[in-house]
A = this chain, B = another copy of it.
Amino acid sequence: MRPSGRDFNALRQVSIETGFSRHAEGSALIRMGNTEVLCTASVEGRVPPFMRGQGEGWVTAEYGMLPRATHTRGDREAARGKQSGRTQEIQRLIGRSLRAVVDRKAMGEITVTLDCDVLNADGGTRCASITGAYVAMVMAFRKLRTNNVIKSMPMIGQVAAVSCGIFQGNPVLDLDYAEDSGADADANFILTAAGGIVEIQATAEKYTFDEASFNALLGLARKGTMELFAAQKAALG
């Protein structure tokens, strides 16, 4: 029995609301159960110095968590003066995941920065960030396309992410905090609608696991991301 009473292969309730941010070129407020992440896509008409003159665009991401998104208040990273290793790891993952579905040559020399800020946390924030950031990014590219800044949509795939894990010996889909904090193992799957693997991060927490378990998790992730792809499409109209 899962703490939430969900079936082993059930996602939490998902909603994706576009346009929450009044200024960003694209934005999506994604909710997966009690996890809520505000994803914005900001466009800048140039690329970082190390990429100039190559005729390609850049997609990057930053991640943050409001201090009281969590059960007990966490330090504000801006006040502490540095981002944690966890934060950096997550924002690097988001950036890689989104770059995997963009033709950067088709972007031209512009930068899209995806800011994913967790307003409420209940597990799975990095996966929700990727799923929401995809929507925000598409919104931003549409705006650029409408304004003729780009000639065609540079998307070459649709990406979403979900975490799965082994909880009390059973593979389950879309861990919430109660499950995540006590899982035997967990894994984040970043997959494309075309069936490709963008990234897999699987980690033994309490016990090492075998290939059969791993394959069960991957199977759940396939199912879960199918539903997320549908939610993204619905949000994008």
Q: Which residues of A contact B (CB under 8 A)?
A: 20-24, 27, 34, 38, 40, 42, 44, 62, 64, 66-73, 76-79, 81-83, 85-89, 91-92, 96, 100, 113, 115, 117, 119-122, 157, 187, 192, 194-204, 207-211, 214, 218
When distances are taken between beta carbons in the complex, the residues of chain B under 8 Å from A115 are 66-68, 73, 76
CB-nearest residue of chain B relative to A35?
B22
**CA–CA, A197 and B166, complex, Å:** 13
When distances are taken between beta carbons in the complex, the residues of chain B under 8 Å from A96 are 203
**CA–CA, A85 and B207, complex, Å:** 27
Judging by beta carbons under 8 Å apart, are A201 and B204 in contact? no
Judging by beta carbons under 8 Å apart, are B214 and A196 in contact? no
**CA–CA, A210 and B121, complex, Å:** 31
Residue in B22, B40, B121, B204 whose CB lies within 8 Å of A34:
B22
**CA–CA, A154 and B81, complex, Å:** 33
